Amino acid sequence: MPKGKNNPFVEPDCEHNGQEKKGCVTPGPGEVSRGCPYAGSLAALMPIADAAHLAHGTAGCLESGWGKSGDRAFFGNLSGFGFCTQLNDQDMTMGGERKLLHSIGYIAESYKPPAIFVYATCITVLAMEDLDSVCEEAEEIWGIPVIPVHSPGFSGSSANMGRRLAGEALMDRVIGKGMLKREKAAEFNINLIGECGGAEEAEIIEALLAKAGIRVLSKITGQSGYEEVSCAHLANVNMVVCSRSMITLARKMKDKYNIPYFEGSFYGEREIRFTMRQIAFHFGDADLDKRLHRYMRKEEERLRSELAPIRRALKGKTAVLYTDGMESWTYLTMLQELGFKIAAIGTNRNAQEDMSRIRERVNEGTAIINDCDDGQILRCFRERKADLMIVSGRNEFVPLKERIPFLSIAGHRRISYAGYAGVRHFARDLLGTLEQPVWKMSGKCAPWEG
């Protein structure tokens, strides 16, 4: 981290700071096996699609997901390209600052982006590159914001810490630099800060709030543009969506711009109702409060009538979750509202805040297995006679190999489960999975096995 920066492992608004050992635990050698801070920062800032994203390091630091067309915003394709300085052995020995300046100039002159994000990598730290000075020089030459993101893998911890460091870069160099156009002014403005599971989820949340007369000013870690994020300081309220990895950004915006923040979720009727009431409370407008309650009542009545037959079919079914991160607790409310019993939850890399949210949403009979392996979750599934396994990420191969009914809630799914429309999709997917005849067929022995 550059000089003058606070320790990123200590966050006053995190729950675990009230304990004797304050702050996030700095990992030891060999403890980080999934993701790194650089990857986390990249994932957080890549949705700013009209800006250019330049990795200052080797080509191996670039991830294979750069070129996915589905990740490119309609108004700009720059986030779909992988810009990299491609440092070689000579650059590592002699220094790559001139090469970095040349790369920034090539991007500025060829693509003319509104801003360029430059990411430090492990090589940057080893070669002791002065990233800030090069970015300042580039700004003077080409006249566009060049933002250094200090989140090399050597800074420790995981991708969550990288998202927090990305928030630091936004707070220092982006937020507060823009001004809204007069025709875009609105009475109720809100920012979405956190992890949106793709562009579709952010669009669903934005449309849901728009029906109640609330405008989403900027989506930080959701699909957005540079100008949109630079105007985030003009919002009335910040909402931290599902993930607390960027809680530092929300706190600093509260301290600097006096913007209050709260945590919200749009997965399940109870979660949406609680979130809407929080929004009404923070805006403090009587007409908005009535409008929100009227909208919620209408949607809940419609949802109740549409899902009545599905709820009857799902009532009493038992589910086991084998998930990580926010996906371990986000869907618990929806499952219980649809009549499911949660038998067990297996996790591997959850933060303390994630574990506390799991305990808030389940009954005493639910087994919570931390540092869970495949054998443990399969034994639990069979012992508790569960009907379905909810999985995410690489965990989906476990029930697939064992021929167990499962539903994958990984981020790459085509349909989002957020909002009232998401509850409908989720209920239909659950019922469709359980009624698939393939599970009965796959459970039988082959003819040659007797």
Give whichever of 187-201, 295-309, 347-361 has the largest mean pLDDT: 295-309
CA 125, 131, 133, 134 torsion: positive or negative? positive
Check residues 159 and 428 and name the one with the higher pLDDT.
428
Place of tokens 């007069």: 182
**Which helix H or strand E contains 399, and what residues bound it?**
helix 397-402
**What is the pLDDT, as a whole number, of residue 21?**
44
What DSSP assignment string belongs to 308-334?
Answer: HHHHHHHTT-EEEEE--GGGGTTTHHH
Per-residue pLDDT tens over the stretch 157-176 = 677 788 888 999 999 999 99
Angle made by CA atoms 232, 415, 370, in degrees to the nearest 5: 80
Tokens of 164: 């927090």
How many CB atoms sit inside 10 A of residue 444's CB?
Answer: 9
Distance CA 11, CA 1 (A): 16
> For 204-257, what is each residue's pLDDT tens digit?
888 889 888 899 998 887 778 899 999 999 999 999 987 777 888 999 999 999
Residue 17: predicted pLDDT: 56
* pLDDT value of position 30: 54
What average pLDDT does this structure show over 2-26? 55
Q: Is the confidence at residue 420, as pLDDT, over 80?
A: yes
The residue with greater pLDDT, 118 or 126, is 118
Q: What is the pLDDT of residue 370?
A: 86
Is the per-residue pLDDT at 22 higher than 90? Answer: no
Give the mean model confidence (pLDDT) for residues 117-127.
Answer: 86
State the architecture of 15-23+33-161 in CATH terms: 3-Layer(aba) Sandwich (3.40)
Please tell me the pTM assigned to this model.
0.84
Other CB atoms within 10 A of residue 417 CB: 23
- Cα 256–chain centre separation: 24
Dist. CA 434–CA 430, nearest whole Å: 6
Tens of pLDDT, residues 260-284: 999 988 999 999 999 999 999 999 8
User: Which amino acid is residue 202, in one-letter code?
Assistant: A
Q: Which CATH number fits domain 307-442: 3.40.920.10, 3.30.1490.100, 3.40.50.1980, 3.30.70.980?
A: 3.40.50.1980
Give the CATH fold of the 182-299 domain: Rossmann fold (3.40.50)
What's the CA dihedral at 156, 158, 162, 164 to 10 degrees? -100
Q: Kindly state the tokens that stand for 402.
A: 């064992």
Dihedral sign of CA atoms 390, 395, 396, 402 in order: negative
* Distance separating alpha carbons of residues 445 and 428, to the nearest angstrom: 29
CA distances from 7 to 130, 169, 248, 367 (A): 20, 14, 11, 35
Do 178 and 227 contact (CB within 8 A), yes or no?
Answer: yes
Range name among 9-23, 188-202, 302-316 with the lowest pLDDT average:
9-23
User: Which helix (H) or strand (E) is 406 found in, with range?
Assistant: strand 406-408
- Tens of pLDDT, residue by residue over 301-349, are 999 999 999 999 999 999 999 998 888 899 999 999 999 999 999 988 7
Distance CA 408, CA 420 (A): 20
Give the angle subtended at the CA of 390 by the CAs of 385 and 393, to the nearest 5°: 140
Helix (H, G, I), strand (E, B) or coil at 368: strand
Write out the two tokens for 445: 């022995």
- The end-to-end CA distance of the chain, in Å, is 65
State the amino acid at position 251 in one-letter form. R
pLDDT of residue 262: 92
Q: Coil, helix or strand for 240?
A: strand
Comma-separated ranges of CATH 3.40.50.12380 domains in the chain: 182-299
The pLDDT of residue 74 is: 43
Of the candidates 156, 160, 178, the one whose C-alpha atom is nearest the C-alpha of residue 48 is: 178
pLDDT-based confidence at residue 70 (cuts at 50, 70, 90): very low
Task: Answer for the pair 157, 26: CB distance below 8 angstroms, yes or no.
Answer: yes
pLDDT interval class at 20 (50, 70, 90) = very low
- Where along the chain do the CATH 3.40.50.1980 domains lie? 15-23+33-161, 307-442
8 A C-beta contact, residue 37 and residue 159? yes
Cα–Cα distance for residue pair 343/161, rounded to 1 Å: 31
Dist CA 92 CA 88 (whole Å): 6
d(CA 407, CA 387): 11
pLDDT confidence of 203, banded at 50, 70, 90? Answer: confident
Tell me how far apart the alpha carbons of residues 85 and 91 are, in angstroms, rounded to a whole number: 10
